[in-house]
Amino acid sequence: MALTNDQPDNRVKTKGAWTAEEDQKLAHCIDIHGAKRWKTIALKSGLNRCGKSCRLRWLNYLRPNIKRGNITDAEEDMIIRLHKLLGNRWSLIAGRLPGRTDNEIKNYWNSHLSRKMNEDKTPLTSAAQEAMSKNSWKDISLSEEDNAKEVANSEINFNVDELANSEINFNVDEFFDFSSEGSDHLERVNKFLGLEEDPCLLRGGKHE
């Protein structure tokens, strides 16, 4: 196997919590060199940290527009619905929640939502159910009887990977890729997720 960027050099690297001073050094270095080539950043910053650790710190805490804590009801609802659809694909879920990181979503799910979901099997919003039953997005062709039954069921719980592997043409990555699709597609996805209520999320997560 190839070497990875966390492959040890001979010096023992610092581990554990970051100090304010380390944060400052890292932010300064990224300001100069950009948020890439993390091994280089780790060296140039003068931090005794591996590149991987620097990257994680930047992505989860230091980069601009990070939101910390106070996950709103709307965000929580979104996480639940996205998790139903995507499973533990945290980065994809986080990608639909501006300012949130995959790590934060993952932690929030594991500490708050997984238990909550076990307690009450929260159904999708009526809008989401309606969208599901209308089968209104282009790539999910639930033509098979079993799938149609499942959609009609209020406790929607289909496995995306199974769908992706079946003859049913459903590509999760494509479904959540808004780079090349028009606003139509985004609206369909948001409608599927029941996001009409939240104009911010409806804009694809762009806050003014």
Binders of DNA: how many residues, by CB under 7 A?
Answer: 42
Chosen residue from 44, 63, 106, 203 binding DNA by CB under 7 A: 106
CB 173, min distance to DNA, A: 9
Could you tell me the CA-to-CA distances from 24 to 65, 98, 103, 125 in Å, in that order? 17, 24, 22, 44
Residue type, 76: E
Chosen residue from 57, 81, 83, 188 binding DNA by CB under 7 A: 57
Largest CA distance in the chain: 61
Chosen residue from 52, 63, 67, 203 binding DNA by CB under 7 A: 52
48 contacts DNA (rule: CB under 7 A): no
Q: 103: closest CA among 73, 60, 68, 63?
A: 60
- Give the residue ranges of DSSP H helices in the chain: 20-33, 38-44, 51-57, 73-86, 90-95, 102-108, 114-119, 126-134, 145-152, 160-165, 172-175, 183-193, 199-202
DSSP one-letter code for 5: T
Chosen residue from 27, 66, 102, 129 binding DNA by CB under 7 A: 102
Chosen residue from 27, 44, 61, 181 binding DNA by CB under 7 A: 61
- For residues 207 and 186, give the distance between their C-alpha atoms in angstroms, rounded to a whole number: 16
36 contacts DNA (rule: CB under 7 A): yes
Q: Are 61 and 23 in contact (CB under 8 A)?
A: yes
Chosen residue from 98, 103, 151, 168 binding DNA by CB under 7 A: 103
Chosen residue from 24, 48, 88, 171 binding DNA by CB under 7 A: 88
Query: Judged by CB under 7 A, which stretch of 15-23, 121-129, 139-147, 151-159 contacts DNA?
Result: 15-23
Q: Are 151 and 142 in contact (CB under 8 A)?
A: yes
205 contacts DNA (rule: CB under 7 A): no
Tokens 């369909």 sit on residue = 188
Chosen residue from 12, 17, 20, 32 binding DNA by CB under 7 A: 17
107 contacts DNA (rule: CB under 7 A): yes
Query: Judged by CB under 7 A, which stretch of 73-81, 106-114, 121-129, 181-189 contacts DNA?
Result: 106-114
- For residues 107 and 60, give the distance between their C-alpha atoms in angstroms, rounded to a whole number: 12
- For residues 185 and 190, give the distance between their C-alpha atoms in angstroms, rounded to a whole number: 9
Binding site for DNA (CB under 7 A): 1-6, 14-18, 36-40, 49, 51-53, 55-57, 60-61, 68-69, 88-92, 102-104, 106-108, 110-112, 115
